[in-house]
Every structure is written in C-alpha cells, then in structure tokens.
Amino acid sequence: MSKKLYQAYKPNFDFSSLDHIIVGSGMGGLTVATWLAKAGKKVAIFERHYVPGGFTHSFKRKDGFQWDVGVHYVGNMGEDSSLRGFFDFLTDGNLAWESMGDVYDVANIDGSEYIFKAGKENFRKQLTGYFPMEEKAIDTYLQLIEKANKRGSAFFFEKTFEPWLSKIAGWFFRNRYSKFSNKTTWEVLSKITGNKRLIAVLCSQCGNYGLSPKNSSFVAHAMVIGHFLEGGYYPVGGADQICKKTLEVFTAHGGKIYINADVTEIITKNNQVQGIQIGEKFIPCKSVISNVGVNNTFNQLLSEADRKGCKFNLKNVKPASAHICLYLGLNKSSEALNLPKHNFWYYKHDDIDKIFEESTIQNAPENFAYISFPSAKDPEWEIKNPGTATIQAISIGNMEWFEAYKNTNWMKRGDEYINLKKDFEAKMLKVLYRFFPQIEGSVVASEVSTPLSTENFTNYKSGEIYGLAHSPERFSLSFLRPKTQIKGLYLTGQDITLVGVAGAMLSGLLCATTILKFGSWKLFKEIKEQQRQ
C-alpha cells in the first residue's frame, strides 16, 4: 500500500476544524469515513497500528511472501448486487473481484467430503444428493434462511431510527427478528431434522462467525450462509486492495489518515463529545466515531461516568472466539501444486460443539482446521510473485492458553512461547500434508500467530477477531446501534451489525446514514447511477 495515502501521526500536525474523527481504520471506519468525505465533511482517521485497514490489511515479509489477516472471501459480489454497488461507490469502481468458481467451500467431516456449490439451486441439489431422505428438511432450512435474512434487513435498518421513532416503530422489527435471533443454530436445525451429520454439514462453515451450533444465534448462521449462497469472491491483488482502493477515494475527497496514532481517550463534557486524546495531545472535533469495538470504546476510551450514562451492559455477552493461524509460503506456483481456489473445512468428527468445547492448544489442529489458498484465488499473484504460493491454516485459539505470556512484548515472548507455536505448526502441517500431500517439500516460509498477536494489533483483550460473540444474547442488545446517548459519539464496526467485511461495511453505511440523515440519499442515488452505467 502506498505510504502517500497515509502518514505517521505527529502531535504538531494541524488537526483544526475537523468535523468527524474516526478511531480505527477497519472496514466499518473506512466506510463511514469515505461516505462522510464524499458528502463534503472534514474527516480524519486515527489508527494505532503501523498500517491501516484493520482485518482487511495484509502483512509482508522480507522473503516477499504476503498474507491476509482477515478477508478470505466475500459473498454477494455479483455485478448487480447491492453489496457490489456499495464497494464500487467506496472505491469509484476501481476494486476488481475474482470469482472462486462453481465451488467455494469444501467440508471434510470424519473422512467424508461435502462440496458447497454456488447458486441456491446448486446448493440444494448438492445437499439432497448427499442426504436424499432429508429433502424436506433441506427445503425447510433454505426457507428459514431466506425468511430470517429478510427480517434481518429491516432489523438492521431500524438502527438508523431516531430514539423517538425507534420507540414507536422499532419494537415491531426487533420483535419479528427475535423469533429467529433468540434461538441457537442447533435449536432451529434440530427441529427440522434429527440427522446429526446433516446438521454438521450445514454448520461446517461456522468458523465464519466463530461459534459452534449450540452457542451461535441462528440469525448469524443464516446471514453467513445466505451471504455465500451465490458463491465466493476474492479481491484482485489481495485483501489489502479493499483498504487501498477505498483510501484512494477517501483521501481524494480531502480525508486524512494517521497511523501509529493510539487514541487513549474520548473526551466529553456535559454529555457532549469534545474530541480525542492521544498521549498529551488533545484534538477537538464535532463528533467521534469509534470503530474499535464496543468493549474497547466503553471500557478503555470513556470515563466511568460516561459508561454509566450510556447504560451499556455487556455482562451477558462474551467476546467472540480467538484463533491460531499458520501462514505458509511455498516455492512453487498454485497451478504447479494444484492448489484449489475453494476453502477447506476439516472436522475430525461431526460433533462440532464437542470439538469447540474440548479444544486445547495440544489438540486444536488435529480436530479442526480451516484452510485457505489466497494465491490460488488471486489472478495477480503469479504475475507479481512467479513460482510461489501461499496458504493459511487456522484452528481454534483461546487466550487462556497464553496467559503466562500476556505481559510480554510482541516478537519477544521467549523460548517457551516459540515452542508452543512450533508445536502448533508441526501438527497443522500434518493435517495439511494429509489432505494436500503435494505441498510437502515446497514449504520455504512459515509463521504462526496467536490470540496475543491479535491483541497486540487490535487491542481486543481476548484476542477475538469477531468482536462480540454472535450469540442470541447479542441480538437482544438494543443499544448496539450507531448513535449513542453521548451527543456526538457514534459507533461503527461489526459489533453494531454482523461479522465480516460485509457486516462491517453495513455498519459504516448505517452510521453514515444516521449522521447525514436525508443527506445520505444523494449518495444512494449516486450508487444507483453507477450500477446503471
């Protein structure tokens, strides 16, 4: 990413006359920032990391290998989809997408393979082929997915309502959605089928929202399944192109972004935002938009008095799950190694809840693995990096496994920590060689990240990657909306909506609409005109 798009924060810069400050440069922050900048507002983004983008950024090593940290595929990116229209609006149409093809996911459960094909009817035919006696259950399942997601659209749009309108009409949308959101994925699926293996197959992509069937809200499951029904797409050039192309538009409209800018406090007075504090520097603005998660916002950046005034209560909602990831670089091309574009989900057996519940640092990769092949998905990888390939292999992580190292510094955590990572690598490689034996002997670079790595760069204290857990309790929290009870303080990011780049983008859209009100319709009109061209 060109450094001209952003600069390292220095306290002597001119930060005067800012309308809006965004804390954190993940997808939600990038979205609302760009919408506001396009509306003529003076906007600045402050990012604590040394690169912008949040989970859309990539990291590169001296040997030339580059890996994504969060975006492995995106759904609903067909030419005519509304999500594609929003991306085109943010990037002025300069972000290209590559289809992953007919197959976007493959699940292997206890040695049996299940293929997920793009297209609702293809999905249905594939499943009924595997489970011919469960045709009625599969049809019912798809109907429930569609019904829940339709109600979800109204549920999330209601978050833009002013308090008075929310009190009058919002209850209707929330109540209709709660009939699905209050139930776990297991509760819904177990009522339509008693086939344990079918339920496991339907839930095999649960890593996309981070909770097992008995813990996740059905609406989180429904949104993710519905999101990918028409197939998966990957940004041409890698996941960091999402951030790069968006920042090009944002900065072209006068926006500024500063890295190494660790906001330490959101300053308020008389229940009104005054600005932000970075070290000893106070930076005034008209409003602050936090994109660092509600836990970080209210427990780290606001005073106790502000927290009480906002009446936030997160006691019943835990953070989402953490993960451990093995990043691999190979000295042959994806084509030479016959690496697939699709993702691969491995489960040792079909009791997914048991796998999650009984996972330890010793057995995690042996029981569950999510494997992605970014170089195979990206048509530009071979052009820029000929004769090489990359793989990412993820398993369950838990911050408790690394408590002994929490007070150590990144890259300086000691030999015991290094040995834990080496052990994980060895076990994950064994899984990889089992299913993709052709890569053995071609691995020339490897690196392991843990929940501590995630905490270091995101400040998420549990090393979570999906913010608040997507449990039934989460969707009952009416205060998870862009506008807070502190005047001038807004929230964006996946905590406000849903997991993933699309969910975070939706949160940014809702936040921008909340701030701009009727002024946002001009921007919606621009999107429609772009799609007609």
Q: What is the pTM of this model?
A: 0.95
Amino acid 531: pLDDT: 59
Cβ-contact 345, 370 below 8 angstroms: yes
DSSP 468: B
Amino acid 510: pLDDT: 96
- Do 224 and 274 belong to one domain? no
- Do 294 and 311 belong to one domain? yes
Amino acid 290: pLDDT: 98
- Do 479 and 524 belong to one domain? yes
Of 194, 229, 264, the domain-final residue: 229
- Do 162 and 217 belong to one domain? yes
Number of domains making up the chain: 2
Residue 434 within a domain: no
CATH of the domain at 488: 3.50.50.60
Cβ-contact 211, 471 below 8 angstroms: yes
Which structural domain, as residue segments, surrounds residue 164?
Answer: 135-229
- Do 194 and 254 belong to one domain? no
- Token pair 């008209």: residue: 286
Residue 422 within a domain: no
Residue 27 within a domain: yes
Tokens encoding 382: 């071979």
Amino acid 497: pLDDT: 96
- Helices and strands (DSSP H and E) totals, the chain: 20, 21
Of 229, 254, 277, the domain-final residue: 229
Residue 512 within a domain: yes
- Do 185 and 159 belong to one domain? yes
- Do 208 and 148 belong to one domain? yes
Amino acid 532: pLDDT: 61
Task: List for the chain the helix, strand, coil content (%; round to 5).
Answer: 45, 20, 35
- 22 backbone dihedrals φ, ψ, rounded to 5°: -105, 125
Amino acid 530: pLDDT: 63
- Do 282 and 219 belong to one domain? no
- Do 273 and 250 belong to one domain? yes
pLDDT in tens, the chain (533 residues): 655 899 999 999 999 999 999 999 999 999 999 999 999 999 999 999 999 999 998 888 878 899 999 899 999 998 888 899 999 999 999 999 999 999 999 999 999 999 999 999 999 999 999 999 999 999 999 999 999 999 999 999 999 999 889 989 999 999 999 999 999 999 999 999 999 999 999 999 999 999 999 999 999 999 999 999 999 999 999 999 999 999 999 999 999 999 999 999 999 999 999 999 999 999 999 999 999 999 999 999 999 888 877 877 777 788 999 999 999 999 999 999 999 999 999 999 999 999 999 999 999 999 999 999 999 999 999 999 999 999 999 999 999 999 999 999 998 999 999 999 999 999 999 999 999 999 999 999 999 999 999 999 888 889 999 999 999 999 999 889 999 999 999 999 999 999 999 999 999 999 999 999 876 766 666 666 665 66
CA distances from 459 to 49, 452, 474 (A): 10, 9, 21
CA–CA separation, 333 and 375 (whole Å):
8
Beta strands in 184-240 (DSSP E): 232-235
Residue 299 within a domain: yes
- Do 149 and 215 belong to one domain? yes
Would you call 104 helix, strand, or coil by DSSP? strand
- Do 475 and 500 belong to one domain? yes
Amino acid 3: pLDDT: 57
CA atoms 200, 201, 207, 209: torsion sign: negative
Of 180, 196, 229, the domain-final residue: 229
Would you call 67 helix, strand, or coil by DSSP? strand
Q: What is the DSSP string of 228-267?
A: HTT-EEEETT-THHHHHHHHHHHHHTT-EEEES----EEE
Residue 403 within a domain: no
CA distances from 81 to 73, 87, 405, 500 (A): 16, 10, 45, 17
Going by C-alpha positions, the residue among 337, 336, 356, 338 that lies closest to residue 347 is: 356
- Do 139 and 223 belong to one domain? yes
Residue 407 within a domain: no
Residue 271 within a domain: yes
Going by C-alpha positions, the residue among 73, 28, 157 that lies closest to residue 504 is: 28
Q: Compute, in degrees rounded to 10, the torsion defined by CA atoms 474, 480, 481, 483.
A: 180
Amino acid 314: pLDDT: 78
Going by C-alpha positions, the residue among 510, 483, 486 that lies closest to residue 498 is: 510
Amino acid 341: pLDDT: 98
DSSP 403: G
